[in-house]
Amino acid sequence: MKISLNTMKTKHSFFSLSPTNIIVISFAMLIAVGALFLSMPYSSANGISAGFVDSLFTATSATCVTGLVIADTATKWSLAGQFIILILIQCGGLGITTLATFFFAASGHRLSYRGMLTARESVGGMGIEGITRLLRTIILTTFGIEAAGALLLMIGFVPRFGAANGIYMSIFHSVSAFCNAGFDIMGASFGQYNGFAGFAGDPVFSLVIPALIITGGLGFIVWNDIFSYRKNRSLMLHTRLVLIITAILISSGFVLFLLFEYNNPSTLGGMGILEKISAAFFQSVTSRTAGFNTISTAGLREISLLLTMLLMFIGAAPGSTGGGVKVTTFGILLYAVVCQIRGRKETVIMKHRVHSSVVSRALAIFALSISLVIAITVILMLTEKNTLIQTLFEAVSAFGTVGLSTGITPGLSPAGKIILSAVMYLGRIGPLTFAVSVAMKSSRKDEATIYPEGKVAVG
């Protein structure tokens, strides 16, 4: 592949910025444009402007594929408003820089070296070799999976809602599920904020939506590696770690939700055994990053709320449509602890040594994320009048870009909405931005100063 260092340098000065800055700015610009369109009267169902704060909150939630809402999506927003939300979800899920770079390359232009770096960071890649092919795979696979999901959802939606409405709802929810956004438009049919409560026992829905959520949450690196398996006959450590941790989180979450909520009359108590199994599995999948619900989140027992917060905080895989600190961060720290207990000086995962700088970045991301959640919880306790667990749950949901709520989002003050908007934005780009900045600093080998080693007791 030929790399032109000057291509796009003058006409496309946006790409002259660092990859990190491009990602940060692109998300901010998309949110601003989305908020502007959503604030227009035609975006609201009643023809009256939703106002700046509510429009900004919704645009941020959609762009950052979170799903927290200040009003029921189906009844608050017009068809035009819902379409704007859908576009924001799609662009936010893939990343505006991913889309822009793909279409730029597809138009016959050659990417500059900096453009390739930007594309790599946008999709969570590990190198620039074959980045154009990877972008093509990502875009085509995304649209293909969303189309397949929509067709399968039509099996249940069209007979129930009619042809036109059923097709539209299938497309909307397929995109929302794959992008792990959590927005639904079921409010007009099943009541506001009830989500998919009427589909807990539907076999097609209970399989298609979780499949879309899991696929979107695996990440672009994993897709590409799986697609290349027939050629390489092996999977990268990253892929194996993502698949193993994801399977552990989903299966353990399913068992624990079923155990904790089995007799809870507010959630699984009144269901048959098959419905309980389906709803518990759905709750385990959606809690990690999607934000849909077939049972009442507010009705969950406190121990289930704690489990949900843990799953939301961990989130999906790097380079995916999901949020959280990422399953690889959690996995690396877990293995690091195990290796320390066993007396190993290095972190070894599946017979592969993980560099200490990677472990340090994982620890930094984890620590910063916890600090952010605690700080936001404290601030929201000062600005809002909710219980500690409700506030903490909301903060974790916003940071993990999940969208589940105990029901306090619509009642937030303007200050609370702005604060959570900032948290959703940081949750979408924050850990990635920090990881990139640390990686850039750690690559400097020519340190001018060498400090003496100091001894500190820990533990």
DSSP string, 294-331: SS-STTS-HHHHHHHHHHHHH-S-TTSS--SS-HHHHH
- Whole-Å CA distances, 256 to 30, 202, 250, 324: 38, 22, 10, 20
Specify the higher pLDDT residue, 76 or 232.
76
Residue 44 has pLDDT above 80, yes or no: yes
pLDDT in tens, 415-436: 999 999 999 998 888 655 644 5
Q: 237-261 and 203-218 helices cross at what angle (nearest 10)?
A: 140
pLDDT in tens, 248-265: 999 999 999 999 999 999
What is the spatial distance between Cα 358 and Cα 347, in angstroms, rounded to a whole number? 10
In this prediction, residue 452 carries a pLDDT of 84
Q: What percent of the chain has pLDDT over 90?
A: 58
What lies within 8 Å, CB to CB, of 388 at 6+ separation is 377, 381
Residue 176 has pLDDT above 90, yes or no: yes
Q: Is 456 domain-assigned? A: no
Q: Which residues pair with 77 in a beta bridge?
A: 44
Q: Where are the beta strands (DSSP E) in 51-155?
A: none
Q: Is 7 domain-assigned? A: no
Per-residue HEC secondary structure of 233-267 comes to CCCCHHHHHHHHHHHHHHHHHHHHHHHHHCCCCCC
Domain that includes residue 317, residue range: 13-439
Q: What letter does residue 353 receive in the DSSP assignment?
A: E
State the amino acid at position 356 in one-letter form: S
In this prediction, residue 131 carries a pLDDT of 65
Residue 7 has pLDDT above 50, yes or no: no
Q: Is 447 domain-assigned? A: no
Q: Which residues pair with 349 in a beta bridge?
A: 352
What is the spatial distance between Cα 347 and Cα 339, in angstroms, rounded to a whole number? 6
Dihedral over Cα of 73, 122, 420, 304: its sign: positive
Query: Which residue shows structure tokens 């299938």?
Result: 170
Residue 243: CB atoms within 10 Å: 17
Q: Is 214 domain-assigned? A: yes
Residue 133 has pLDDT above 60, yes or no: yes
In this prediction, residue 312 carries a pLDDT of 96
Task: Provide the number of structural domains found in the chain.
Answer: 1
In this prediction, residue 282 carries a pLDDT of 94
Q: What are phi and psi of 348, to 5 degrees?
A: -120, 125
Are 28 and 425 in contact by the 8 Å Cβ rule? The answer is: yes
Residue 359: CB atoms within 10 Å: 18
pLDDT in tens, 326-375: 999 999 999 999 999 998 889 999 989 999 888 988 998 899 899 999 99
Asked which of 59-73, 171-185, 213-227, 258-272 is least confident by mean pLDDT, the reply is: 213-227
Q: Is 1 domain-assigned? A: no
In this prediction, residue 384 carries a pLDDT of 94
Residue 128 has pLDDT above 70, yes or no: no
Six-digit token string for 153: 């959802």
User: pLDDT tier at 188 (50, 70, 90 boundaries)?
Assistant: confident
Q: Is 8 domain-assigned? A: no
Q: Is 3 domain-assigned? A: no
Are 209 and 197 in contact by the 8 Å Cβ rule? The answer is: no
Asked which of 30-34, 105-109, 310-314, 352-356 is least confident by mean pLDDT, the reply is: 105-109
Q: What letter does residue 400 receive in the DSSP assignment?
A: T
In this prediction, residue 61 carries a pLDDT of 96
The mean predicted confidence, pLDDT, of the chain is: 84
Report pTM: 0.86
Looking at residues 168-174, what average pLDDT do you find?
96
Residue 404 has pLDDT above 80, yes or no: yes
Q: Is 402 domain-assigned? A: yes
Give the residue among 335, 253, 236, 258 at the shortest CA–CA distance from 290: 253
pLDDT in tens, 281-338: 999 999 988 889 889 899 999 999 999 999 999 999 887 878 899 999 999 999 999 9
Residue 259: CB atoms within 10 Å: 12
